[in-house]
Amino acid sequence: MSEAQVTFRQFLLNNRRAHGTDKDLIFLLEDIATACRIISHRIRSGAFAGTLGATKDVNVQGETQKQLDVIANEVFVKHCSNCGRVAALVSEEVDEIIWLKDRPAAGDYLVYFDPLDGSSNLDVNLSVGSIFSVVALEDALERTSDEAVLQKGSRQICAGYAIYGPSTSLVITTGSGVDGFTHQQGTGEFRLTFPDMRIPETTREFAINASRYHHWDASMRRYVDECLSGENGPRAQSHNMRWTASMVADIHRILTRGGVFIYPVDRENASMGGKLRLMYEANPLGMVVEQAGGMASTGTDRILDLPPQSHHQRVAVVMGSSDEVRRINRYYQEAQ
């Protein structure tokens, strides 16, 4: 193991020296890393503990909750509540905002998370993940309100995810690039194994749920039709497609080798504003993608500039290699 494979704590302390990372944020990120370690263990032991199945409950998203959705949420809530500077938690699994302080101070943290993204993959032993985002309150609050958590993605001070795959990895940005860590069996440490992750500008790989083709608008069909038309089509090159039904896994592949991830608003999901959620999926992963040199758009607007209307708001997502995101944005612009 090279010296470069520093532990997560050593990395955060180095980051503090280089970029002035606040010590409370370091404590919070270490608590989040602990939560991800625990979730990783609960997933990998789920078959023995009988926790792989579904509950009888439906969450605010209208999705049947898996037992591990509930467990992962409880682990995130517990570990994100340790740091005395966290004012509120917004969870994909919880309808209401979880306020930890009655009168939050300026600089207190708002933490947004999807504790177990892609949990339908648990039944078939495919990758799932956890997504997290941190915003620091600009001003103190006289009283708590739903509006207080409606912060633009551009105000995030930190974002990242854990992916529970063949290995458990943690990927974070605090605004100075993107770094990936791998959980080391035995020591339990997250070690820096993928420093300074970058997304190539160009790609020939796209990720979309192609079974929804008949719901898409003309711009999205135009883009995918061209990708599928190969060397004799307008792109004059062949493309590859991947879809893992876990945004974290698709985005991690894109961070590792490029690509573009697309979940458009379509005729069927338009009434809900799309499928994916802004505050704890598109914003955090959008910050990671941008910090790695990619782009994150709705097809028409930069995701991180969107003014949130509600904390479970949904949004169209196009993110990854910048050349492809620009092309898709252009197709939407030309259709206006």
Nearest residue (CB) to ligand P6P, 62 versus 166 = 62
Q: Which x/- pattern, by CB under 6 A, does the window 204-243 give for ligand P6P?
A: -----x----------------------------------
| 201: nearest Cα among 292, 288, 299 | 292
* Total chain residues near ligand P6P (CB under 6 A): 8
Q: Cα–Cα–Cα angle for 30, 253, 295, nearest 5°?
A: 85
Judged by CB under 6 A, which of 38, 54, 94, 245 binds ligand P6P? Answer: 245
Q: Left (φ > 0), alpha (ψ -120 to 50) or beta: where does 105 sit?
A: beta
Provide DSSP, 37-98. HHHHHHHHTHHHHT-SSEEEEE-TTSPEEEHHHHHHHHHHHHHHTSSTTEEEEEETT-SS-E
Residue 163 CB neighbour total at 10 angstroms = 27
Place of tokens 């517990």: 78
Place of tokens 């949004």: 315
Q: Residue 306: CB partners within 8 Å, gap ≥ 6?
A: 152, 153, 278, 298, 315
Nearest residue (CB) to ligand P6P, 34 versus 209 = 209
Q: Left (φ > 0), alpha (ψ -120 to 50) or beta: where does 76 sit?
A: alpha
Q: Minimum CB separation from ligand P6P for residue 97, in Å?
A: 20
Q: Minimum CB separation from ligand P6P for residue 245, in Å?
A: 4
126 touches ligand P6P (CB under 6 A): no
Nearest residue (CB) to ligand P6P, 52 versus 245 = 245
Judged by CB under 6 A, which of 15, 67, 246, 297 binds ligand P6P? Answer: 246
Q: Minimum CB separation from ligand P6P for residue 59, in Å?
A: 11
Q: Which stretch binds ligand P6P (CB under 6 A): 193-201, 230-238, 244-252, 295-303?
A: 244-252
Judged by CB under 6 A, which of 39, 247, 255, 303 binds ligand P6P? Answer: 247
**Pairwise CA distance, residues 8 & 82, whole Å:** 18
- Read off φ and ψ for residue 193, nearest 5 degrees: -115, -20
* Binding to ligand P6P in span 25-54, by CB under 6 A: none
* Binding to ligand P6P in span 53-92, by CB under 6 A: none
117 touches ligand P6P (CB under 6 A): yes
Residues that bind ligand P6P (CB under 6 A): 117-118, 209, 245-247, 275-276
